[in-house]
Amino acid sequence: MNKSGRLLTVLAVLLVLLSAVGCNKLRARDQLNKGVQAYKNAKYEDAIEHFKDAVALDPSLTNARLYLATAYMGQYIPGADSPDNNRYAEQAIDVFKQVLDQHPPVEQQIHSLKGIASMYFQQKKFDQAKEYYQKIEALDPNDPETYYSLAVIDWMQAYQPDQKARAELGLKPTDELKDKKACTDLQQINAQRVEDGIQNLQKAIQIRPDYDDAMAYLNLLYRQRAEYECDNADARKTDLKTADDWVDKTMATKKAKAEKAGPTGIVTTETTQ
């Protein structure tokens, strides 16, 4: 075969390959559209299969991976500890991480990070959840919900050893923790978590001044701080007073938002940048 013939053969092969790639991309988008429709119709298993096919046909189709991960998330039931249920969480996290590996635009990175953080949070894997919320914070420092989520984790991680200390001393929920050793131990475990949580909530409220959920958790965190202040009665009293003040602010904010919403029940949340 002469040079011209070989060149024509190579070109023909390239055209076939390019045609196949283009065809696969079209088929992938068709599978993506079918998956979206199935998901809207609550046919979640069918949607997952369509999204998997879309990814297989076009691995560069980031939206297909995002939808696939979201579909896995939707199948996960928080608190149901079974192999099948846990597998959905693992699959969702794995696919979101695949999206991140593709270095997509920032918006898609944030979406994936939020998905991973949410799955870890729902599984009560708080250290992992915190790691991914902190990554979100680095990409989008003006999202108050990120700081709120971090603070909720801080509170939950502080609440557990507090309840353990109470149980070991046979105390009721309303009893004051007075055992000096228990207070000291609790302070060593919880002080940093509580301070981090308070700071995170203050950032959230600075961005969203009417963030009543954040106000409610400030109340809880100040009460956690008061728990380990056995040797400082004044500080304990101050923190409990601050906690009560945040309860009042929470109720006042909820009332103001309800009045602003009127009969529609729709509240417009304003943020400051």
Per-residue pLDDT, 271: 43
**Stated pTM of the model:** 0.85
159-180: string of b/e by CB count within 10 Å (b at 16+)? bebbeebbeeeebeeeeebeee
User: Cα angle vertex 148, ends 143, 150, to 5°?
Assistant: 105
- pLDDT tens-digit series, residues 210-235: 999 999 999 999 999 999 998 899 99
Which tokens in the block code for residue 211? Answer: 């963030």
Give the number of other Cβ atoms within 10 Å of residue 70's Cβ: 18
- pLDDT tens-digit series, residues 231-243: 899 999 999 999 9
In the chain, which residues have pLDDT < 50?
2, 10-11, 13-14, 16-18, 20, 269-273
- Within this chain, domains 18-140 and 142-273 share the same CATH topology: yes
Q: Which residue has the tokens 């199948």?
A: 75
| 168 vs 175: CA distance, rounded Å | 13
Per-residue pLDDT, 17: 44
Per-residue pLDDT, 7: 54
Per-residue pLDDT, 230: 87
CATH number belonging to domain 18-140: 1.25.40.10
Three-state DSSP string of the chain? CCHHHHHHHHHHHHHHHHHHHHHHHHHHHHHHHHHHHHHHCCCHHHHHHHHHHHHHHCCCCHHHHHHHHHHHHHHCCCCCCCHHHHHHHHHHHHHHHHHHHCCCCHHHHHHHHHHHHHHHHHCCCHHHHHHHHHHHHHHCCCCHHHHHHHHHHHHHHHHHHHHHHHHHHCCCCCCCCCCHHHHHHHHHHHHHHHHHHHHHHHHHHHHCCCCHHHHHHHHHHHHHHHHCCCCCHHHHHHHHHHHHHHHHHHHHHHHHHHHHHHHHCCCCCCCCC
**CATH 1.25.40 is held by the domain 142-273:** yes
Segments making up each domain of the chain, as ranges: 18-140, 142-273
Per-residue pLDDT, 173: 77
Per-residue pLDDT, 172: 85
Per-residue pLDDT, 205: 98
